[in-house]
Structure 1
Amino acid sequence: MTAATGAAHSVIDAFERQVAAQPDAFAVTQALAAGTLTYRELDSWSRRIAGALTKVAVGPGDRVVICMSRSPALLASMLGVLRAGAAYVPIQATEPEQRRIGVVQDSAPVAALVDAETRALFAGRPLVILDPADVRSVGPAFRPPVIGPADLAALMFTSGSSGRPKAACVTNGNILNLITDANYLPIRHTDRVLHHASVAFDASLFEVWGALLNGALSVLSAAGHVSPNEFGHMLRDKYVNIVFLTAAQFHQQVDIDPTAFAGLDSLMSGGEVLSPKHVDVLRATVPGIQFVAGYGPTENTTLVSCHRVGQDEDLSGGIPIGVPVQNVHVAVVDPDGEPVADGAPGELWVGGASLTAGYWKRPELTAQKFVHPRWPGASGTYYRTGDRVRRRGDGVYEFLGRIDRQFKLRGFRIEPEEIEHTLIRHPGVAKAAVEPRTDHRGDRRIVAWLVCPRGMPPRAELRAYLRERVPEHMVPSVLIGLEQLPLTPNGKLDRRALPEPDWTSRSFHV
């Protein structure tokens, strides 16, 4: 393999350059487990997987589901799908069956890559089922297709307001821009990057490709649930030095054991508003650690902007979302889509090299959210984030809240309308309203107010019903029965008049 010159044109091209540069360097290992794969070994395995996929007619433009536990086989499968010219569709094994079926129906995959633990989930489906552990040879007919920056790399499904999840179309070029020559957290070949997020969560794009496309070691989080008390031991086991956590995970870890971060060089966190108090504890406990506050929707490939928090920076006014990452363009606009002056609040629109190619098979929604600005000198497409921000005089952006009702909880983006639509499909529920609320301990929770003409169904029944249809993080913590939902004078739901839960009473809780 000869060394390539110029910018990489695909994820596989960038990965092959690392294989050529350091074939015997370690590429992937798993925390609290033995064994590693070198870049040469991971490359070879991915080629065998790609060969097996092409034998069953997978090729450019196709989609392949990946549903398996976190293991080296997972990374080999992602590479194998891309090497075959297809796009991977990650599905978490713990997703409710109906949601999993919906993702498969929407993405229309040709095949699914599974392991022994997940194979049964796809039994009876009209898919070619392959286990990477069973792949032994490429076969003489395999010819790698030419892949370019605009070719689809992954479909990342997120919550949808209509009750139907939507998928952002992540291209090869999107991933390359996220990872290559990063101005927010450069990754070196000597680094060890933790892969802790679900592969179906967009943080995994940074974790996996940030390591493999920069010649670093990808350290997979230990199998099973890792408690905050065990987290530090897991990091120390493989000398991890770069970690990405959601804000909720970061806050929880700081509350229980901030010394877990003692061996890190860099820690990035985002997904929700970060607590300055928790960052202060981190800085006091681990002096010198580089803490990066990250912000961005899936539609812009994980990150729009980042803020490197200084060791002595005053955070009393909150933690800003920082400045745009490389090759990302942003604008703060008024309701008419016109730019506002520095300091004025407005909706954040984002464009540039990280902007995904719209929503999969959702042209109306794509046209609504991916727009072409009209202001002088504007060009290209921008995504309307629905977030209210302002740009300070020093060019740093501050997050002010949501324009619409979408919110994030424990790093997951949630459309309350999806939960409402699901609840009112229950035969005992006539109306539903869902909102986030902060309980007496300061924790954010999902609350559902229900109108049930024949009486409130048992909460255990509602919990089981929801768990079959939405992920666990979308199941409300509290269910409250009402005779009627409160209305405004013009007949619309008055969300501000929804009664506050009695947080000390367990009778409301699911």
Structure 2
Amino acid sequence: MVSTKSEVATSVQQRFAEVARRTPDAVALSSGGVSLTYRQLDARANRLAHRLLALGVRPQEPVAILMERSVDVVVSILAVVKAGACYLPLHAAYPPEQMRLIVRSAGGPLVLTDAVMRERAEALGTRTLEPARDGAPGSLPDGDPGVTVDGDAIVHVIHTSGSTGEPKGVAVTHNGVLGLAADSCWDGGGHRRVLSVAPYAFGVSTYELWVPLLRGGHLVVAPPGGLDLRTLRDLFVREGITAVHLTAGLFRVFAEEAPESFASLSEVLTGGDVIAPTAVLRVLDACPGLVVRAMYGATEVSSFAAQAALTCADDLAQGVPVGLPLDGVDARLLDERLLPVDDGEVGELCIGGDRLAAGYYGRPDLNAGRFVADPAGGPHDRLYRTGDLMRRNAAGLLEFAGRAGDQVKIRGYRVEPAAVEHALAALPEVAHAAAVVREPRPGDKRLTGYVVARTPGCDVRALRAALGEILPEYMVPDVLVELPELPLTPNGKLDRSALPEPAPATVPPPGASSGDGPTGGEGDGGAGGERLRRLCRVFAGVLGVPSIGVDDNFFDLGGQSLQAMRLVSRVEAEFGVEISIGEVFNHPTAVELDCRIDQLVSAVDH
């Protein structure tokens, strides 16, 4: 890998151009059998950048991107940056109305898309361009367009949850991305081949994309669609991956189901939520020599702000620490008056330095609450209030001590329960609403919603489906509870501590139908068969309930994508048949998945 230091690059495109000049024939990017050298990636991005400029894209103007995970996504992102604009990634899992809201708030920008997402992009009501079909004619130059921006310019806008239900866009600067990519924690070759698995609209994609590409490494983009443990294990080995970032929840699934999967890697990064020490120990025991790097950060600080390299049990004696600040990150623990706390005392982590985002895009009203003037008059004059309470231990490492506000992490995504409450209360069937986070098992955070219906006896499953039309999946409560009224404190405020625990799932015994009884024959694959009864037990074990019926929908009972990955792993172990995570989504009941397994077994036999 090339040197990480540069005296001339003040923008991402300048830094990339330096790397491309030094290592033009090294492979920069690959996915699904397609690979591009730095020279080829540079040329393709330059042609598309010229195309964007010809279409009227101007410096610092947002350009939205809605595509499947692919090589073309990376080319498009780099082209937008080369044109001096900022890219605005749209998460394919966003409901259409949320996408339209984001696009409207950005002024109706051009949307770059592909054949799979084109129809959804066109429904956003703004201009679209499919580079693979409508892309740059061969006559356009493949030389750099020469657009320059300074380090304070915006490179991308990534959206997170807002308390009113309206997503807020974090405007990250070139300085922030350059600082992250140059950090010394990536030195030593452990990040020379990075696997990209996160949605490109998720903050951690800043690491996945720019750390390898701005350091002369190799970015491997995982195939589109759902990824299960087996697929990821195969990618690690087949692609020679040296580093990958996984959310704390996905890391925990690997640790419990297949901790040896990381044996071929140099490093596994994890974070976004509380990291279970037992999960780290299981992985380290199974993979001697591996580094598990606990990462802490936020989109507002260009993805990561602190890290802890974990290599042995001694590193976990006091749990998993937040660790030490990254290079150039000014990390302070302050009290409510923004004054420093004493060593060992708890304070709110406030971050300064040039990693800070420019603020919330088009929302100066939101900036005052999070981006505050530096009371010490520091060189950058601003601090970002993370809302996380921490202390420094005797070794100088930051340790997490709780949240100062209501914001929580659900499966690695930041969620404000107030946003969920706002969306629930907006449904015509709902008079009042509340949302809280519960943790039935350590590390397994679940959103629970409470509603007072305008007409008692509402269909809570229909309400969950309606929420799924306006909120991303990770913000939809796993359980909705109807109450006659919400409990109040003596001063008339919502008493969250008095909201009742949801009742345990009430499901029929294994092998029984949740409808009119078992259907099908007594053969191995029929609804009355032994394999089906075993499959019901696997479903129940993954969901953490005593039993389920053959027609009970895995996702209606609270199943999520991480549980679906766990289900795939356990079905393969139990029955010796390989299924994909997509088959769980397409066949979410035990009887449907049993029939699908029957088809797969028959196909193998023939």
Q: Give the TM-score, by structure 2 length.
A: 0.80
Return the alpha-carbon distance in structure 2 between the equivalents of residues 316 and 463 of structure 1: 42
Query: Given the superposition, is the C-alpha separation of residues 220 and 357 from structure 1 closer, same or farther in structure 2, using an over 3 Å criterion?
Result: same
Q: Secondary structure at the match of 2:430?
A: coil
Return the alpha-carbon distance in structure 2 between the equivalents of residues 366 and 11 of structure 1: 25
Whose Rg is larger?
2
Q: How do residues 316-395 of structure 1 correspond to structure 2 at under 5 angstroms?
A: 316-375=317-376, 380-395=381-396
2:311 matched to 1:310?
yes
Query: Given the superposition, is the C-alpha separation of residues 286 and 142 from structure 1 closer, same or farther in structure 2, using an over 3 Å criterion?
Result: closer
2:99 aligned partner: 100
Instruction: Report deviation, 1:456.
Output: 3.7
Query: Given the superposition, is the C-alpha separation of residues 506 and 106 from structure 1 closer, same or farther in structure 2, using an over 3 Å criterion?
Result: farther
2:84 aligned partner: 85
1:71 aligned partner: 70
Instruction: Report deviation, 1:109.
Output: 4.4
Instruction: Report deviation, 1:483.
Output: 1.1
Q: 2:157 aligns with which of 155, 165, 168?
A: 155
Deviates more, 1:405-414 or 1:136-145: 136-145
2:167 matched to 1:165?
yes
Instruction: Report deviation, 1:224.
Output: 1.5
Instruction: Report deviation, 1:110.
Output: 3.0
Higher share of residues assigned helix: 2
1:292 aligned partner: 293
Query: Given the superposition, is the C-alpha separation of residues 187 and 218 from structure 1 closer, same or farther in structure 2, using an over 3 Å criterion?
Result: farther
Return the alpha-carbon distance in structure 2 between the equivalents of residues 138 and 382 of structure 1: 48
Return the alpha-carbon distance in structure 1 between the equivalents of residues 186 and 145 of structure 2: 36
Return the alpha-carbon distance in structure 2 between the equivalents of residues 198 and 209 of structure 1: 14
1:212 aligned partner: 213
Q: Does structure 1 conserve the Cα–Cα contact (< 8 Å) formed by 2:242 and 2:264? A: yes
Instruction: Report deviation, 1:509.
Output: 5.1
Q: Secondary structure at the match of 2:360?
A: coil
> What amino acid is aligned across from residue 365 of structure 1 in structure 2?
L
Instruction: Report deviation, 1:367.
Output: 1.5
Query: Given the superposition, is the C-alpha separation of residues 82 and 393 from structure 1 closer, same or farther in structure 2, using an over 3 Å criterion?
Result: same
The alignment yields a C-alpha RMSD, in angstroms, of 2.1
Return the alpha-carbon distance in structure 1 between the equivalents of residues 263 and 67 of structure 2: 31
> What amino acid is aligned across from residue 339 of structure 2 in structure 1?
E
Q: Does structure 2 conserve the Cα–Cα contact (< 8 Å) formed by 1:195 and 1:207? A: yes
Query: Given the superposition, is the C-alpha separation of residues 75 and 138 from structure 1 closer, same or farther in structure 2, using an over 3 Å criterion?
Result: farther
> What amino acid is aligned across from residue 72 of structure 2 in structure 1?
A
Instruction: Report deviation, 1:493.
Output: 0.9
Cα deviation digits, residues 275-309 of structure 1 (max 9, x gap): 00000001100011011100011111111110111
State the identity %: 35
Q: Secondary structure at the match of 1:184?
A: helix
Return the alpha-carbon distance in structure 1 between the equivalents of residues 465 and 64 of structure 2: 26
Cα deviation digits, residues 378-404 of structure 1 (max 9, x gap): 862001111111112322100111111
Query: Given the superposition, is the C-alpha separation of residues 355 and 75 from structure 1 closer, same or farther in structure 2, using an over 3 Å criterion?
Result: same
2:26 matched to 1:28?
no
Return the alpha-carbon distance in structure 1 between the equivalents of residues 198 and 442 of structure 2: 26
> What amino acid is aligned across from residue 454 of structure 1 in structure 2?
T
Instruction: Report deviation, 1:358.
Output: 0.7
Q: Secondary structure at the match of 1:29?
A: strand
Deviates more, 1:353-362 or 1:120-129: 120-129
Q: Does structure 2 conserve the Cα–Cα contact (< 8 Å) formed by 1:49 and 1:132? A: yes
2:49 aligned partner: 50
1:145 aligned partner: 147
Instruction: Report deviation, 1:459.
Output: 2.4
2:240 matched to 1:234?
no
Query: Given the superposition, is the C-alpha separation of residues 26 and 445 from structure 1 closer, same or farther in structure 2, using an over 3 Å criterion?
Result: same
1:252 aligned partner: 253
Q: Does structure 1 conserve the Cα–Cα contact (< 8 Å) formed by 2:190 and 2:242? A: no
2:496 aligned partner: 495
Return the alpha-carbon distance in structure 2 between the equivalents of residues 131 and 379 of structure 1: 40
Cα deviation digits, residues 450-487 of structure 1 (max 9, x gap): 11131242123112211110001111111111111111
> What amino acid is aligned across from residue 113 of structure 2 in structure 1?
V
Cα deviation digits, residues 55-94 of structure 1 (max 9, x gap): 1100202110011011110000000000000000000122
Instruction: Report deviation, 1:338.
Output: 1.1
Q: Does structure 1 conserve the Cα–Cα contact (< 8 Å) formed by 2:103 and 2:109? A: no
1:132 aligned partner: 131
Instruction: Report deviation, 1:122.
Output: 2.4
Deviates more, 1:396-405 or 1:123-132: 123-132
Return the alpha-carbon distance in structure 2 between the equivalents of residues 218 and 272 of structure 1: 25
1:429 aligned partner: 430
Unpaired stretches in structure 1, ≥5 consecutive residues = none
1:450 aligned partner: 451
1:416 aligned partner: 417
Return the alpha-carbon distance in structure 2 between the equivalents of residues 442 and 75 of structure 1: 33
2:179 aligned partner: 177
Instruction: Report deviation, 1:497.
Output: 1.0
Return the alpha-carbon distance in structure 2 between the equivalents of residues 56 and 376 of structure 1: 43
Instruction: Report deviation, 1:218.
Output: 0.5
Return the alpha-carbon distance in structure 2 between the equivalents of residues 376 and 112 of structure 1: 41
2:263 matched to 1:275?
no
Instruction: Report deviation, 1:137.
Output: 3.3
1:38 aligned partner: 37
Q: Give the TM-score, by structure 1 length.
A: 0.95
Unpaired stretches in structure 2, ≥5 consecutive residues = 509-555, 559-606
Instruction: Report deviation, 1:502.
Output: 2.0
Cα deviation digits, residues 415-454 of structure 1 (max 9, x gap): 1111110001111111111111122686221101111131
Deviates more, 1:373-382 or 1:412-421: 373-382
2:485 aligned partner: 484
Q: Secondary structure at the match of 2:195?
A: strand
Q: Does structure 2 conserve the Cα–Cα contact (< 8 Å) formed by 1:248 and 1:409? A: no
2:244 matched to 1:243?
yes
Query: Given the superposition, is the C-alpha separation of residues 234 and 506 from structure 1 closer, same or farther in structure 2, using an over 3 Å criterion?
Result: same
Cα deviation digits, residues 350-370 of structure 1 (max 9, x gap): 110211001111112102210
2:601 aligned partner: none
Q: Does structure 2 conserve the Cα–Cα contact (< 8 Å) formed by 1:27 and 1:218? A: yes
Return the alpha-carbon distance in structure 2 between the equivalents of residues 473 and 377 of structure 1: 38
Q: Secondary structure at the match of 2:39?
A: helix
Return the alpha-carbon distance in structure 1 between the equivalents of residues 228 and 462 of structure 2: 29
Return the alpha-carbon distance in structure 1 between the equivalents of residues 415 and 493 of structure 2: 22
Aligned length: 505
Query: Given the superposition, is the C-alpha separation of residues 150 and 109 from structure 1 closer, same or farther in structure 2, using an over 3 Å criterion?
Result: farther
Query: Given the superposition, is the C-alpha separation of residues 326 and 441 from structure 1 closer, same or farther in structure 2, using an over 3 Å criterion?
Result: closer
Return the alpha-carbon distance in structure 2 between the equivalents of residues 5 and 285 of structure 1: 39
Query: Given the superposition, is the C-alpha separation of residues 109 and 263 from structure 1 closer, same or farther in structure 2, using an over 3 Å criterion?
Result: farther
Query: Given the superposition, is the C-alpha separation of residues 47 and 333 from structure 1 closer, same or farther in structure 2, using an over 3 Å criterion?
Result: same
Return the alpha-carbon distance in structure 2 between the equivalents of residues 93 and 487 of structure 1: 39
